[in-house]
Amino acid sequence: MKLPERKPNRLAEFDYSTDGAYFITVCVRDMRCILAKITVGDDALGVPIHTLTPAGKIVEKYILSSEKLTGGYIDKYVVMPNHIHMIVRIEKPEGGLPRASTPTKQLVPEVVGALKRLVNRELGGNIFQRSFHDHVIRGHGDYNKIWEYIDTNPLKWMDDCFYIEEQ
């Protein structure tokens, strides 16, 4: 049986050794909705109410502590019921870090891996899928579009591709 060919998940012709921003999505294993609850609000507009679970609060705690990372930080994020969206910025300090050939194979996975390890350690088990999705943010327009997507993601939960109706 021949397996389907995987398309490359890295952007051709992009210099991954430069500073940049990356849109990252990390999913919970088996798409279990354990990080947040999004319910229809009881006001006249029915605006969704986004509430973090205890596990989601742990995720947020470690996202907020990411400012201590060398060469990278999480600029924007949202913790959804079964996934996390983040903008990870890579900015090498002046004359600081040596040039890495591929920060997305170095710093971005280190940021994501550290987040997963810290959360899993505190929760006492592995809650995340093995991999994560990354997208190189290409310019201010792309950055602003992704920022808005992260901001409005809880409002559009029921239309989200990761939406699973909770039992």
Residue whose token pair is 């987040």: 115
- Quote the pLDDT of residue 61: 95
Q: How far apart are CA 129 and CA 52, in angstroms?
A: 19
- The answer to whether residue 92 is domain-embedded is yes
- CATH number at 97 reads 3.30.70.1290
What count of other Cβ atoms lies within 10 Å of the Cβ of residue 104?
Answer: 20
Q: What is the mean pLDDT of residues 35-63?
A: 87
In terms of residue numbers, what domain contains 79?
Answer: 20-153
Residue-by-residue DSSP string for 86-107: EEEEE-PPTT-SPPPS-GGGTH
Better-scored residue on pLDDT, 58 or 11: 58
The per-residue pLDDT for range 99-152, each reduced to its tens digit, is 544 544 567 888 888 899 999 999 999 999 988 998 999 899 999 999 999 999
Residue-by-residue DSSP string for 10-67: S-TT--TTS-EEEEEEEEBGGG---SEEEE--SSTT---EEEE-HHHHHHHHHHHGGG
Q: How far apart are CA 107 and CA 101, in angstroms?
A: 11
Number of domains making up the chain: 1
How sure is the predictor about 8, in pLDDT bands with cuts at 50, 70 and 90? low
- The answer to whether residue 2 is domain-embedded is no
- Quote the pLDDT of residue 155: 85
Better-scored residue on pLDDT, 7 or 56: 56
How sure is the predictor about 156, in pLDDT bands with cuts at 50, 70 and 90? confident
- The answer to whether residue 1 is domain-embedded is no
The per-residue pLDDT for range 54-96, each reduced to its tens digit, is 999 999 999 998 776 667 788 999 999 999 999 998 877 665 5
- The answer to whether residue 119 is domain-embedded is yes
- Quote the pLDDT of residue 82: 94
Interior/surface letters 140-155, b for 16+ CB within 10 angstroms, e for the rest? eeebeebbeebeebbe
Measured between its terminal Cα atoms, the distance across the chain in Å is 37
127: Cβ contacts below 8 Å, ≥ 6 apart: 28, 29, 32, 34, 55, 119, 120
Q: How far apart are CA 95 and CA 79, in angstroms?
A: 34
Q: How far apart are CA 18 and CA 97, in angstroms?
A: 12
- The answer to whether residue 14 is domain-embedded is no
- Quote the pLDDT of residue 101: 46
Name the helix (H) or strand (E) containing 151.
Answer: helix 139-152
39: Cβ contacts below 8 Å, ≥ 6 apart: 48, 49, 51
- The answer to whether residue 57 is domain-embedded is yes
